[in-house]
Amino acid sequence: MDQQTVITSDISSSETEYENMLQVDKHIKYFMGHLNVLPHFYGSQDTNRMTILYFIVGSLDVLGKLDQVLNDEKKKEIIDWIYSMQIVPDQNDSNLERCGFRGGNFLGLPINCYQCCHEHPLNENQTRYDVGHIAMTYTALAILRILGDDYSRVNKKAIVGGLKYLQDKNGCFKATCFGSETDIRFTFCACAISSFLEDWSGVDTELAFQYILSSRGYDYCFSHGPGLESHGGSTYCAIAALHLMGMIDRLDHQEEMKEWLLKRQISGFHGRPQKDADTCYSFWVGGTLKTLDCLQYIDESQTTLFTLSCQTDYGGISKVKDAYPDVLHSYMSLAGLSLIGFKGLNRVFPSLNITERAAAGLKCFESRNCNK
């Protein structure tokens, strides 16, 4: 019987045995390898380097090894790179709708991102498509928080002001000022950004609340938008956003929603009925259940064993057993384990998807309610 079979079948294992099954050293090597050189198959994700970095740094923090593997010099290097991705207002404040953080330096512009844009001004044609992305702004602020940065170089006024341009009349947020996608994921990002900066002036919270309600299905859970199928990931975004806005108590039919979420466990969790289990939903669904104060009703042994069975021999965790790992599923798996108190892991604050250690001091964490 191979090791993976033992992991999935040994339901009677003690907590200590579970802890020993988590291949911490291999996972650290996996994440540090990705931090230094990304494998070639991430090439198509070049515009999302900020999010990839978030999964790597976040994983090291959940594992409790951040300070052990990243010295002050390396942390400063990462922080400086993040700030180099910040798009700040021009001298006339005419580009506020474009402000925020890029996902990476992928535009090929003749500019050194580490230098002030005012020192090396570019013409309008060169910067037309150099805009912030709401998800990259969220992950940039999350990483800075994890690394202990004080946000002293964050242009808070520009970022908060830019959010106003991203909220549509129906209350939903779009990813960039040029339109692109609009769905509930970006509404969550706007709420998380406002929570990190502790400034909600860029969000019409009542309009956002109404949009979230319009995305609710007959099963009382949430989809990417009105009329679509309910999904575990979308429901997480909706509940996290409502929690950060201090509006969960305004939501009715919570018992039916909890029942739908609890039924997503088949060993691990899946995101929709009749789908296979996928490790990332241990966080998407588990984090939602945690926020709704009913995570204690899941079968912790089953989800733990499923996640551990998806580890690979060279580190990282895949979405299913015997598949290639990636940083997203690796991070979400660790975050999911942390929610149920897996020994040795730093607990995650689900509404912001960073550790409680990193969230400490934020109003939304200290009060467990938010802006109201």
Q: Say how many CA atoms lie within 13 Å of 8 toward its Cβ.
A: 14
Q: Is residue 371 part of a domain?
A: no
Q: Is residue 270 part of a domain?
A: yes
Q: Which domain holds residue 172?
A: 3-366
Q: Is residue 64 part of a domain?
A: yes
Q: Which tokens hold the place of 128?
A: 């037309």
For the cut 70, the answer to whether the pLDDT of residue 166 exceeds it is yes
Q: Give mean pLDDT, residues 11-24.
A: 69
> Which residue, 164, 199, 176, is CA-closest to 87?
176
Q: Is residue 311 part of a domain?
A: yes
Q: Say how many CA atoms lie within 13 Å of 218 toward its Cβ.
A: 2
Out of 12-21, 112-121, 335-344, the most confident range is 335-344
Q: Give mean pLDDT, residues 99-114.
A: 72
Q: Which tokens hold the place of 119?
A: 């020192």
Residue 213 vs residues 204, 232, 284, 324, 372: alpha-carbon distances, Å: 15, 16, 19, 37, 19
Amino acid making up residue 169: K
The H or E element that residue 189 is part of is: helix 184-197
The predicted-structure confidence for 236-277, as pLDDT tens digits, reads as follows 999 999 999 999 999 999 999 999 999 999 999 999 999 999
What are the two backbone dihedrals, phi and then psi, of residue 176, each rounded to the nearest 5 degrees? -135, 170
What are the two backbone dihedrals, phi and then psi, of residue 179, each rounded to the nearest 5 degrees? 105, -95
The H or E element that residue 354 is part of is: strand 354-355
pLDDT at 9: 35
pLDDT at 34: 97
Percent of the chain with pLDDT over 90: 78
> Which residue, 221, 250, 247, 225, is CA-closest to 235?
221
For the cut 90, the answer to whether the pLDDT of residue 167 exceeds it is yes
- Distance in angstroms (rounded) separating the CA atoms of residues 348 and 350: 6
- Name the region of 26 (left: φ>0; alpha: ψ -120 to 50; beta: rest): alpha
- Distance in angstroms (rounded) separating the CA atoms of residues 252 and 248: 9
Q: Which tokens hold the place of 356?
A: 């409680």
Q: Is residue 372 part of a domain?
A: no
End-to-end CA distance of the chain: 55
pLDDT at 324: 95
For the cut 60, the answer to whether the pLDDT of residue 55 exceeds it is yes
How does residue 92 score in pLDDT terms, banded at 50, 70 and 90? confident
Report the relative pairing of strands 174-176 and 86-87 from DSSP bridges.
unpaired
Query: Whole-prediction pTM value?
Result: 0.91
The H or E element that residue 69 is part of is: helix 66-69
The H or E element that residue 86 is part of is: strand 86-87
Number of residues assigned to the chain: 372
Q: Is residue 186 part of a domain?
A: yes
The predicted-structure confidence for 120-129, as pLDDT tens digits, reads as follows 555 565 566 7
- What is the number of domains present in the chain? 1
pLDDT at 89: 85
CATH at 329: 1.50.10.20
- Distance in angstroms (rounded) separating the CA atoms of residues 84 and 102: 9
